[in-house]
Amino acid sequence: MQLLYDFFTGQMGLDATGAHVSVASLMAVLMFTVMAICAIFFTWMERKVAGFMQSRYGPMYTGRFHGWAQAVADMLKILGKEDIIPAEADKGMFKFAPILVLLGSLLAWAAIPWAPDFVAADLDLGLFYIFAASSLVVIGILMAGWASNNKWALYGAARGAAQMVSYEIPLALAAVPVIMRAGSLNPQDIVISQQGGIWHWNINPIANPFLFVAFILYFIASIAETNRGPFDMPETESELVAGYHTEYTGMRFAFFFLAEYANLFLVSMIAAMLFLGGWWAPLPGMGWIPPALNFIIKGVLLVFLNMWVRWTLPRVRVDQLMYLCWKVMIPASLLCVVGAGLWMMAWGQLK
């Protein structure tokens, strides 16, 4: 980042404010591009994973090698589709909702630590900011469901909002032991605190078993937070057609799609950052791997795990979903916070 600032102040002859604005704009464009590429890649990956899980091939034709261009072709197709707004819909809100959903994930992407000294917004309370920014997605989903003026969409939106608000609690609580260990909310500090190989990562159950439990709690809550199977209650095809985006077509639907995969990668990258050592290489001798590559590989592996779960487990019922959150995961994560604190106190790991 310092290099970028130096480039804008030195080479381009801008003052400090100008350099700030330039770097911020550049990072915003970069993050959006990475997000769009991720969404395209994960669409293809999801279809391939789904195919292999169900003993079939998935897309094979477009682009010859394992249908790699299928997602690109889909994107081109979706660009050319008619933009339909239902006659009885609330037009302004109907148009704004997809933007708000995407905005929520894009805001959160700003605080992701890609590599040492490379993060769009180096915030001191970055982790808290990420959780706060993703709450915009909830409002966007409610807005979409309401504005569609369709009972299935409204059911889906109400379910989605209830689910995301509920699961935000165990999601944030599972991150607390890590914050306690790192002594900071800054994503970079959290990553740096896990220096020195795989056994220093927070996931290591021998160093602190409670952190390992916290990882599992985080992972389950993150599946529910992204509204994916087995917790995809907001868009249960068999009951609600397609949930809150039933009425959306073309580009507006693509925005929801983009946001879903952006959120999926976001929660996976946060998991990698909190528990899997962020951009650190797994072994001390592997420093030659670019840090960002380490980080992205960990994120993609977690996305794969997420897809694996989605295509393996059947969908739960709404009451089971709420039971799991309020009566199992929240008490478990609270116990986990207390246990991790006591463990760190006993072994002198607290900062």
Partner 1 sequence: MIRDLVFVALALLAVVPAIWVVSSRNIVHAGFALLFTLLGVAGLYAFLGADFLAVTQLMVYVGGVLVLILFTVMMTHVPAAGKRRHGLDRLVPPAVFAAAVFGVLYKVITGVNWQATAVPSKATTAEIGTHLMTTYIFPFEYVSIVLLGAMIGAAILIRERRATDDDEDNREAQA
For partner 1, the binding residues (CB under 8 A) are 17, 90, 93, 123-125, 128-129, 131-133, 135-136, 138-139, 142-143, 146, 154, 158, 161, 165, 168, 185
Residue 161: CB minimum distance to partner 1, A: 6
Q: Quick one: 183 or 284, whose CB is closer to partner 1?
A: 183
Residue at 202: amino acid letter: N
Residue 175: CB minimum distance to partner 1, A: 13
Q: Quick one: 161 or 254, whose CB is closer to partner 1?
A: 161
> Which two three-digit tokens encode residue 65?
């090698």
Q: Quick one: 146 or 201, whose CB is closer to partner 1?
A: 146
CA within 13 Å, CB half, 257: 24
Q: Quick one: 87 or 206, whose CB is closer to partner 1?
A: 87
Quote the distance between the C-alpha of residue 253 and its chain's center: 19
- The helix (run of H) or strand (run of E) holding residue 42 is helix 16-53
Q: Quick one: 41 or 326, whose CB is closer to partner 1?
A: 326
Residue 338: CB minimum distance to partner 1, A: 16
Q: Quick one: 115 or 157, whose CB is closer to partner 1?
A: 157
Residue 319: CB minimum distance to partner 1, A: 15
**Smallest Cα–Cα separation from 322: which of 135, 140, 210, 161?**
161
Q: Quickly list DSSP for 153-204.
A: HHHHHHHHHHHHHHHHHHHHHHHHHHHHHHT-S-HHHHHHTT-SSGGGSTT-
Q: Quick one: 1 or 50, whose CB is closer to partner 1?
A: 1
Residue 275: CB minimum distance to partner 1, A: 21
**Smallest Cα–Cα separation from 156: which of 256, 306, 267?**
256
Residue 135: CB minimum distance to partner 1, A: 3
* Cβ-contact 183, 344 below 8 angstroms: no
Residues 6+ apart with CB under 8 A from 18: 8
- The helix (run of H) or strand (run of E) holding residue 141 is helix 135-147
Angstrom CA distances, 48 to 55, 208, 315, stand at 10, 36, 20
Residue 157: CB minimum distance to partner 1, A: 9
3-state DSSP assignment of residue 250: helix
